[in-house]
Structure 1
Amino acid sequence: MAEGRIVKALSGFYYVKSGDEIYSCKGRGVFRNRKITPLVGDFVKFEESNPGEGYIMEIETRSNELVRPPIANIDQAIIVSSAVSPDFSALLLDQFLVLIESKDIVPLIFITKIDLISDEERTTIDYYKSVYEDIGYSVELLSSKQPDNPPVLEHYFADKVSVFAGQSGVGKSSLLNVLKPSLLLKTDEISKSLGRGKHTTRHVELMQVNSGLVADTPGFSNLDFNEIEAEELSDCFPEMRALKENCKFRGCKHHKEPNCAVKEAVDNEAISNIRYKHYLSFLEEIQSRKPRY
């Protein structure tokens, strides 16, 4: 059997890269019976049936996986937010960060359309940049119209498998086009009536960018925390995760408990009050969801 990695999934076919060749493969029926779906990013074993065609026989154990977009074995997630059109939302960014952290994927933050904002808006963006950098995140402020961006970003992609995430219209495809013009990914204008981007990316595909692999994925604006339990939420906030051992109670949710190191850090401004408010909002959302049976 040959080995390779799924780099594209489309209409029931899985395109497996093995060496310099790409094979068009179908999944074995046994996967359907076990309700296992091969994902882009999967390392697989396959048998060639005809030249350039084959059947996937085995799927290697995944280090991580995302449901939306459906992709596996990711090294890092580049969360793309825009400064304007749509307006920057720290709440939405924190939703993405929590989701990515819960999957043990390294998040990076790219904020686009910096060339379109006023000096006052720039002050706000610079403030948030410092907040996230203080936590330990890498933050880049970008304009896809500036040709000097790609060299600044190249080191992020080398030998990594990256996934782009962010709501529609923030400029993910435009950014990839700047990084690698030969991709010529379809981009679309913001829908003026809706105030958000039209979905222009229809499938998940891993593409070679700056000696790494990058997935361009459909943008989406709604995130839920169905896979995260209340006890796990603070672990998705690195600045809280670092302090939880100092709380008086094991399993402290950093809300109403006394002698809480996280609340003390918020009071001392060592933890961003905005991030803490978002944490409480997410905690309430998780605790109020209907129980699963």
Structure 2
Amino acid sequence: MSDSQPVPLRRVDRVHTKTVFGPDTQVDAKAVIIAPDNVGLTDPFLVLSEDWFSSAGFSWHPHRGVETVTLVLDGVLEHGDSLGNAGALEPGDVQWMTAGSGIIHRELAFRDEYAHTLQLWVNLPADRKLVATRYQDLRARAHAEYAGDGVSVAVVSGSSGGVTGPAANHWPILGLLLTLDPATEHLQLLPADHRAFCYVLDGRVTIAGRSVESGQIAWSDPVGEEENATALPLSTPEADERTRVMLFAGRPLNEPVVAGGPFVMNSKAQIQQAFADFHAGKFGDIPRRARLLTR
């Protein structure tokens, strides 16, 4: 696009407030930000949940057909999986796990103390549902970063502002963590064919003319079939605090979605096969390793 052609501005198509639930057998509290009840409006993103837990956390369980992206907001998250990975993630760290053909893992609060996390499920296309499993610890210090006037951007996945994040992807996903000072304006460039969401972690922001506050998510649907650049305008009011925004974007898959518990495939037959493979031990052995003592 030449300098004489302004970048088209995006709109916000809908804004939702997260639904907060009480405690259950796994967590002290849970909130659902993206519910899997209308994937046509969220594709390629399936679920976004927010969890506060000390014990029991999420003990050994399987996944197939998706990638899970977990951001630690506070506390320390202990994890382990059937690939032999084990460790602890701290605030700002991101865990990017490709379940692919099948993995078993657990997510616990380190020493049963406290963890506050966001977990996003990213769908995989049909021809990559059964890719080899892969695990990535993306430490906060390893995120690519750039800054503008009153804004700093941590790039977890994809490219923005001339830098590229550390995440390896099976489907191109832009993943950003933005911190905006009060009274700041920022134009975030996005491909026209991507669906984007902005989840406000702290503060308040106006996105394409819509006011969005902490605990709310704003969606911007694709505005074209090409990867031409578009811009999503963000601005913050005069305030005493900074605003933090989780912004993810990706091109919709436009494929059938069939879910069965922790498995997401394209047909009921594939879900049945996933359960059969798991019970046959094809996801590997359920690990029996002890809890972490140090980090």
TM normalised by structure 2 equals 0.30
Instruction: Please identify which structure carries the higher strand content.
Output: 2
TM normalised by structure 1 equals 0.30
Instruction: Please identify which structure carries the higher helix content.
Output: 1
Query: Which of structures 1 and 2 has the bigger CA Rg?
Result: 1
